[in-house]
């Protein structure tokens, strides 16, 4: 396995507060890794450590074979794409001028800019000033800015939070395309649907600790119970364990015209999160 | 430092400067002053008035321009994006400095044309002008690296403009030339530039050089502080 990102027992203190309490994660090349956690759990802190904006207090941090001490090198910076939770554009300038700046700073081709703009469906808006764009448009331009130099690793801090479903969908489509090109992506989110749709691996972060990690499907399976929930026409519900002893009860329910809904307990990622951490995601 | 990246920042900031009404109108300040003075008297303008225009241009455009641009990058969170790109802080500062130097030069040239300045620029006085420009640029950069909002810049800008930019105005506030304030202000940089048009040039040049060096130390300090804050 070609590991692109390695965090080993990483801790981060802010004064007396311990924002990360020994985080260990390995991310393979081409993997989409999602950090899922409630507000204040340390998601942004983790991204900032990986992008070199913060130094770890303890532990080993390695990205693309490079240790965090040398994260400020130009070569490293060029291999990263970053969309932070507070990334911003130059409001007075047009979309074109904003992207031209970064195209020149990264020394990439204009054709690449045209292509990413087309990918997010904003090629018609290049002459608009950024201040005249909607929030969702700005976020898509920020994503363009983050990927126009074809980074090897992409860090996205809540790329779709507070965006409408249409914009979210277009961003997801773009990210899946980037993933298909072999880019390693690490994203943070509050949104379990986003994690399910995009991520190969999901890690639950709670109070600076990773409480569980795996594919979205494996996490759901790991936390499913053996219960069958039956809802009757009169509104009452019954929970029956799916065991051989309960076979006749279950069969009866299956053909009972009064039983309007029968379902197994297969939790959503959000429900799993709640089971693991005792917290709601949002 | 990298020329391509400095030029990219320069082009971006030139657009920002010209589209920012607050910054762009500063170019007009020396020109309006020059226009007013040219209307006032028929005979040749005294050096003091010429340097008042220079002081206004250097403090209101050169110094305040770069200070405001840095503060705005910080306030609007765009500086982060630049720092996360291959551009270094020195690339950023150089690109921005070029913009304000260009704008100041344009404004001063127009002002001088309007005033029809008739005195000869000796080598010493041109050297002095360059040192003065570096002084104001350094102060602007240093404060720009320190503050993190455009609103904060005015706290620094007003005293800087009054003391270093409008220096000859002090004579109106304190008319007695033997007053200790006047003796002290005789060492201010702008007065050295005026002296450079007299007989003695070595001492004023040395005093100016000292101001420039001190301002450079201020920049170095502000830069170090800023960069050590970058990775906490
Ligand atoms: N620069 C800082 N100084 C002091 N404390 C900080 C700093 N940055 C983060 N923290 C603290 O670290 C903890 C984790 O913050 P972080 O921003 O990583 O959370 P998050 O998971 O990104 O939350 P959100 O979903 O709200 O963005 C919080 O308790 C926060 O107060
Ligand atoms: Mg965050």
Tell me the chain A residues in contact with residue B81 when contact means C-beta distances shorter than 8 Å: 87-88, 102, 145
Classify the C-alpha dihedral A72-A77-A79-A83 as positive or negative: positive
Q: Ligand 1, closest atom to CA A208?
A: 14
Q: Which residues of A touch B12 (CB under 8 A)?
A: 90, 93, 97, 100-101
Q: What is the pLDDT of residues A193-230, one digit of tens each?
A: 899 899 999 999 999 999 999 998 888 888 888 888 89
Strands A237-241 and A153-157: unpaired
Q: Is the minimum distance from the CB of A183 to ligand 1 under 6 angstroms?
A: no
pLDDT value at position B153?
Answer: 94
Verify whether ligand 1 is closer than 6 Å to residue A40 (CB atom): yes
Closest CA to A223 of A282, A278, A276: A276
- Calculate mean pLDDT across residues B107-136: 89
* Dmax (CA) of chain B: 61
For atom 1 of ligand 1, which residue has the closest CA? Answer: A14
Percent of chain B with pLDDT over 90: 67
The pLDDT value recorded for residue B226 is 86
Q: Does B44 have pLDDT greater than 70?
A: no
Q: Which of the ligands is closest to the CA of residue A189? A: 1
Which ipTM score applies to this complex? 0.89
User: Which residues in chain A show pLDDT less than 50?
Assistant: none
Sign, CA dihedral B97-B100-B106-B107, equals: negative
**What is the arithmetic mean of pLDDT over B187-195?**
91
CB contact under 8 A, B77 and A77: no
CB-based contact, A74 to chain B, within 8 Å:
yes
Q: Which residue has the higher pLDDT, B23 or A270?
A: B23
Domain count across chain B: 1
Cβ atoms within 10 A of the Cβ of B182, count?
Answer: 15
Inter-residue contact B35 to B113 (CB < 8 Å): no
A82 near B CB under 8 A: yes
Q: Residue B167's pLDDT is what? A: 86
Fold (CATH) for A3-213: Rossmann fold (3.40.50)
Q: Which atom of ligand 1 is nearest to the CA of A15?
A: 4
> In this complex, do A107 and B4 lie within 8 Å of one another by their Cβ atoms?
yes
Question: Distance between CA A104 and CA A88 in Å, rounded?
Answer: 18
Alpha helices (H) in chain B, listed in sequence order: 3-19, 21-26, 28-40, 47-57, 64-75, 78-83, 89-115, 123-146, 150-160, 170-173, 180-185, 189-195, 202-230
Burial (CB < 10 A; 0-12, 13-18, 19+), residue A91, is middle
Give span(s): CATH 3.40.50.300, chain A.
Answer: 3-213
| pLDDT for residue B41 | 65
Between chains, do A102 and B4 touch, taking CB under 8 Å as contact?
no
Ligand lying nearest the CA atom of residue A205: 1
CB contact under 8 A, A84 and B80: yes
The mean predicted confidence, pLDDT, of chain B is 91
Tell me how far apart the alpha carbons of residues A120 and A117 are, in angstroms, rounded to a whole number: 5
CA–CA gap between residue A23 and residue A42 (Å, rounded): 10
Compute the mean pLDDT over every residue in chain A, rounded to the nearest whole number.
Answer: 92
- Range of B211's domain? 3-230
A53 close contact with B: CB closer than 8 A: yes
Whether the predicted pLDDT of B228 surpasses 80: no
A vs B: CB pairs below 8 A: 72
């Amino acid at each position: 396995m070609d590991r692109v990102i390695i965090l080993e027992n990483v801790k981060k203190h802010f004064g007396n507060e311990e924002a990360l309490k020994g985080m260990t994660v390995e991310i393979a090349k081409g993997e989409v890794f999602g950090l899922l956690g409630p507000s204040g759990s340390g998601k942004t802190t983790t991204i900032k450590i990986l992008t070199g904006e913060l130094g770890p207090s303890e532990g080993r941090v390695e990205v693309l074979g490079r240790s965090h001490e040398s994260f400020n090198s130009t070569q490293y910076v060029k291999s990263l794409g970053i969309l932070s939770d507070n990334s911003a554009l130059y409001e007075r300038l047009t979309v074109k001028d904003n992207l031209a700046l970064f195209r020149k700073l990264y020394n990439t081709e204009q054709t690449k800019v045209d292509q990413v703009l087309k990918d997010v469906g904003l090629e018609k808006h290049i002459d608009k000033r950024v201040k005249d764009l909607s929030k969702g448009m700005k976020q898509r331009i920020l994503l363009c800015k983050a990927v126009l130099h074809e980074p090897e690793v992409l860090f996205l801090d809540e790329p779709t939070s507070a965006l409408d479903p249409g914009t979210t969908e277009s961003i997801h489509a773009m990210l899946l395309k980037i993933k298909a090109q072999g880019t390693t992506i690490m994203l943070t989110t509050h949104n379990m649907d986003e994690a399910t749709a995009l991520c190969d691996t999901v890690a639950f972060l709670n109070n600076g600790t990773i409480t569980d990690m795996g594919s979205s499907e494996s996490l759901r399976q790991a936390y499913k119970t053996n219960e069958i929930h039956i809802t009757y026409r009169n509104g009452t519900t019954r929970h029956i364990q799916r065991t051989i002893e309960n076979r006749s009860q279950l069969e009866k329910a299956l053909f009972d015209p009064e039983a309007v809904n029968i379902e197994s307990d297969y939790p959503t990622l959000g429900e799993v999160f709640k089971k693991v951490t005792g917290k709601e995601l949002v | 430092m990298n020329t391509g990246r400095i030029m990219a920042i320069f082009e971006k900031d030139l657009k920002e400067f010209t589209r920012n009404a607050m910054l762009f109108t500063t170019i007009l300040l020396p020109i309006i002053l020059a226009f007013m003075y040219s209307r006032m008297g028929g005979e040749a303008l005294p050096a003091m008035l010429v340097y008042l225009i220079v002081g206004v241009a250097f403090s209101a455009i050169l110094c305040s321009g770069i200070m405001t641009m840095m503060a705005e990058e910080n306030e609007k969170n765009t500086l982060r994006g630049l720092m996360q790109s291959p551009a270094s802080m020195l690339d950023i500062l150089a690109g921005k400095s070029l913009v304000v130097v260009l704008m100041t030069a344009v404004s001063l040239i127009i002002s001088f044309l309007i005033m029809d300045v008739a005195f000869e620029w000796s080598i010493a006085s041109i050297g002095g002008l360059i040192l003065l420009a570096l002084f104001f640029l350094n102060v602007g950069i240093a404060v720009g690296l320190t503050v993190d909002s455009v609103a904060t810049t005015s706290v620094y800008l007003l005293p800087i403009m009054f003391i270093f930019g409008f220096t000859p105005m002090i004579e109106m506030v304190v008319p007695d030339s033997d007053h200790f304030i006047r003796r002290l202000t005789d060492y201010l940089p702008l007065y050295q530039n005026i002296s450079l048009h007299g007989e003695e040039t070595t001492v004023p040049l040395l005093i100016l050089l000292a101001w420039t060096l001190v301002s450079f130390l201020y920049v170095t300090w502000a830069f170090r502080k800023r960069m050590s804050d970058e990775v906490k």
